[in-house]
Chains A and B, each alone.
Chain A
Amino acid sequence: MDVLDQIGAVREGKMSRRAFTRSLAAAGVGMATVPFSGRKAMAAPEDQATYFTWGGYDIPELFGEYQAKNGELPNFSIFGGSEEALTKMRGGFVVDVSHPCNQAVPRWTATGLFQSADMSRLSHAGDIIPELTQLEGNADGDNLWMVPFDWGQTSITYRTDLVEIEGEESWDILWDEKYAGRLGSLGAGADAWWVGAIKAGVDFDNIDTPEAFEKIAAVMREQRPHIRVYTDDTTTLEQALASGEMVAAMTWNSSATLLRAEGHPVRFAQPKEGALTWVCGLMIHKDAPNLDRAYDVIDSMLSVDTGKFMINDYGYGHSNAKSFDEFDEETLVGLGLSKNPADILEAGHFQKPQTQEFESKMNALFEQIKAGF
């Protein structure tokens, strides 16, 4: 910025060109030698844990306890999708805590990049809803690879004023020719492909078979011309729903909650075929540089205050049973939640971990379908 001022000074003859160049060189040397530490006047950032997570989880509301104990927020690093995160960590990026979902746990642990969490070090461990800890591939003796944090559904958010529902809500909305060009979908195979499986009537136990691939691919190809946009960016879907550009889209709970809070006439459908359900949580890196604070991060996120915020503002389920005490049943039903997560998770189709080969094959095929092939 002061480069511009200096240009002015040179032009006015206030500063010789030589002096200008000298000051520029000095600035360059200064820039190159000043250590790149972003924040001043705080406990050195390297003392805080680093939490590698989705955007939106890097806010003080989730870290009240952590802040009270350590004086500052943890450091945040943001990813756009959990596969992106894994790619980066496999490339050597070291963090303390990261945030995958149940379906990815066995694959994440198989990379050898993580350590299981010692539950005895978490003060809120006793309040965790037990069903959420019993996930496939999650137990390591008494330890857990992934400490459950949030859970929810992938379903359809639709405009009640623009979509006519005959009979029960159904995934058919997203395949309805009537709304061609006004439908949206999440872009990640981790959501969309599984929804395709529900629509095609493929049992999740058989999702990794050639027949299943064929059936789901056929369903996805049928849907593709109707879809205005595939995106991992929920803001895009929310804005399109708010404006009426889209009448219905595949989303997570939070989109419907946020749109309703803004006063838009939307509903988070409970499709008769069942929604897609998932549990996400926290994993600790094997080389976590601040292990004690990694546990502080997790413990803080399990707290009731954090849970209330997650339920009320984002519409996600929380893993701490006590977080739900503040809400009456009606509110929870309105959010598509329940004090009994099993009710929701089992009513829907709960994602099952698959092999890395499945993920690669599925994503490659799904990307081709999205591109129109």
Chain B
Amino acid sequence: MTNTNVTLNDAAVGAPPVRRRGKFAGMLQRSETLRGFFLLSPTLVVMTIGIVIPFAILITMSLWTAIGFGFDTTLTTANYETALEQPVYGALMHRSLVISGWATVATVLLSYPMAYYVAFHVHKNKMMWIVLMTLPFWTSYLLRVFAWKVVLGYEGVINSGLLWAGLIDAPLEFLLYSQQAVVITLAHSWVAFAILPIYVSLEKIDRSLLEAATDLGDGPVARFFRITLPLSMPGVIAASFLIFIPTTGDYITPALLGGPDGMMIGNLIQLQFGPVNNWPMGASLAIGLMLYISAIGLVFLALTKVFKERMA
């Protein structure tokens, strides 16, 4: 998509008359690349300070070892070896990805029809719907997690409802402090991050394509699968990434709702920087997590590419 835009631009470059104002402005006018980097520069400066330096610290630290309050700054891969040797790290890493995966799938599947509804069937007050859907996220994340505790809790809404209906004799204890509880809460918490990108990509779809498909005799279902869904895939993919990746590192939701069996790798990383006081180990685990997520992300991207090519 970007490529077509660029080609069009390249063709047009020669067309506008170049007016000379200062040397720099002239250069900016002439060079696409320079103009691009000029626009990018503020962001790049901020991100360099925010990413490169912290990352350098992080990677260096992962090769140190902790002694008491200090660090032994001899470089060693000991932390990575420990992480691979002890089963707890791999198991929690895996569990985190499974929990985040389920939460992502649930959020995207549930949010898509909602975004679709607002994009195609709401004609008045669209912004109102967008605001309505994002409004709950003006409240504190912690309080929302806490609210789920009230819903799923021992004397919570679900349990008291079922008891009242006579469906159960004693409260269901598995609702809270379980992996399901974490998945449900994450899915609810991240709805806004699914709806907004999907909505944006649905809004972008040229309505005349749909009309054309209808004219060619496609029913609503065929129209959806041939046009709407493929064209909204960028939004779906963006949503999946926006949810999957941060949730793997979450530690508040599992800490408050997961119970002992719902603990995730984020909890373990946080503990290394807190009570366990082994920052180098925490840094190694974090890098391990990033590599793991990147690998999965790349596989996911490759799959979507194959999918796209087959569509085309």
Contact = CB atoms under 8 A, between A and B. Distances in A.
Touch A–B, Cβ below 8 Å: yes
B166 interface: no
Contacts, number: 86
A227 B259 CA distance: 9
B50 interface: no
Contact count band on A: 35 or more
Nearest to A246: B154
B32 interface: no
B66 A360 contact: yes
A120 interface: no
B278 A360 contact: yes
Interface string A329-364: 000000000000000000000000001110110011
Q: Which of A188, A228, A364 has the most CB of B within 10 A?
A: A364
Contacts of B268: 367, 371
B177 to A, nearest CB: 5
B275 A371 contact: no
Nearest to A361: B276
B131 A83 contact: no
B271 A367 contact: yes
A245 B176 CA distance: 11
Nearest to A182: B173
Contact count band on B: 20 to 34
Contacts of B260: 224, 227, 229-230, 370-372
Contacts of B277: 83, 87, 356, 359-360, 363
B105 interface: no
Given A229-B259, A245-B153, A359-B275, A371 B127 contact: no
Contacts of B154: 240, 243-245
Contacts of A222: none
Contact of B177 (A87, A228, A372): A228
Contacts of B278: 360, 364
Q: Which of A11, A228, A233 has the most CB of B within 10 A?
A: A228
A368 interface: yes
B256 interface: yes
A4 B131 CA distance: 9
Nearest to B150: A239
A356 B68 contact: yes
B88 interface: yes
Contacts of A188: 275
Nearest to A190: B275
B259 A373 contact: no
Contact of B69 (A111, A231, A243, A244): A111
B274 A83 contact: yes
B253 to A, nearest CB: 13
B263 A371 contact: yes
B278 to A, nearest CB: 6
Nearest to B261: A372
Nearest to B138: A1
B177 A371 contact: no
Nearest to A4: B131
Contacts of B92: 371
A11 B128 CA distance: 12
A163 interface: no
Contact of B276 (A224, A239, A355, A360): A360
Contact of B271 (A4, A239, A357, A363): A363
Interface in B9-61: none
Contacts of B217: none
A110 interface: yes
A-B interface, 3 closest residue pairs, ranked by CB to CB distance from nearest: A245-B154, A356-B68, A373-B88
Given A87-B273, A90-B69, A107-B69, 14 more contacts: A4-B131, A84-B275, A190-B275, A231-B256, A245-B153, A359-B277, A360-B276, A360-B277, A364-B276, A367-B268, A371-B91, A371-B92, A372-B261, A373-B91
